[in-house]
Structure formats: structure tokens, C-alpha cells
Amino acid sequence: MIGYSQQTVRRNRDADGKLIGVKLGRYCVANEIPVSDVMAFFNVTKQTVYNWFAGTHVASKLHTKLISEFLANAR
């Protein structure tokens, strides 16, 4: 869990696992992918990444597609 606070990990774990941003968060936490890398890859702010991970913000259609492709290629 390098780089992720216990609060971030807990919020991600407790969030609705059906949401694409939550799935991304679980993948990133499990694989220790830094938020800064996620921000750069998807061209979004740190707050957007944390909101996706916590399930408090739904990704746009474009980002949903990009996240889905990222996760499909990452496995």
C-alpha cells in the first residue's frame, strides 16, 4: 500500500465495486501504482483520482472507456 493512506484504502474497499473508478482504485492499490501516474495517464487531477477510487465521482464516458481499456490490458 505504498503511497496510499489507510483512509484511501478503506474508502476504496468500502465503495461499490461495480463502479469503474473503484475497480481502477483497487487495481492501483493492489499493484502499488502511484496516484501521480494515474493522474498523468488519464490527464486528470489528484482529487478526481481519489474521487474515482472512493466511488464519489463517476468517470465521464471518455474516461470510463479509457479506464476499461486500461484494466483490460493490465490483466
pLDDT at 75: 72
What is the residue range of 27's domain?
Answer: 6-74
Q: Which residues contact 23 (CB under 8 A, 6 or more apart)?
A: 17, 67, 71
CA nearest 24: which of 6, 59, 62?
59
Rama region for 26: left / alpha / beta (φ>0; ψ in -120 to 50; rest) = alpha
pLDDT at 59: 97
In a domain, residue 43? The reply is yes
Number of domains, the chain: 1
pLDDT at 10: 97
CB 11 within 8 A of CB 25: no
In a domain, residue 12? The reply is yes
pLDDT at 13: 97
In a domain, residue 1? The reply is no
Q: In order along the chain (75 residues), what is the average pLDDT of each group of 10 residues?
A: 85 98 97 96 98 97 98 91
Rama region for 58: left / alpha / beta (φ>0; ψ in -120 to 50; rest) = beta
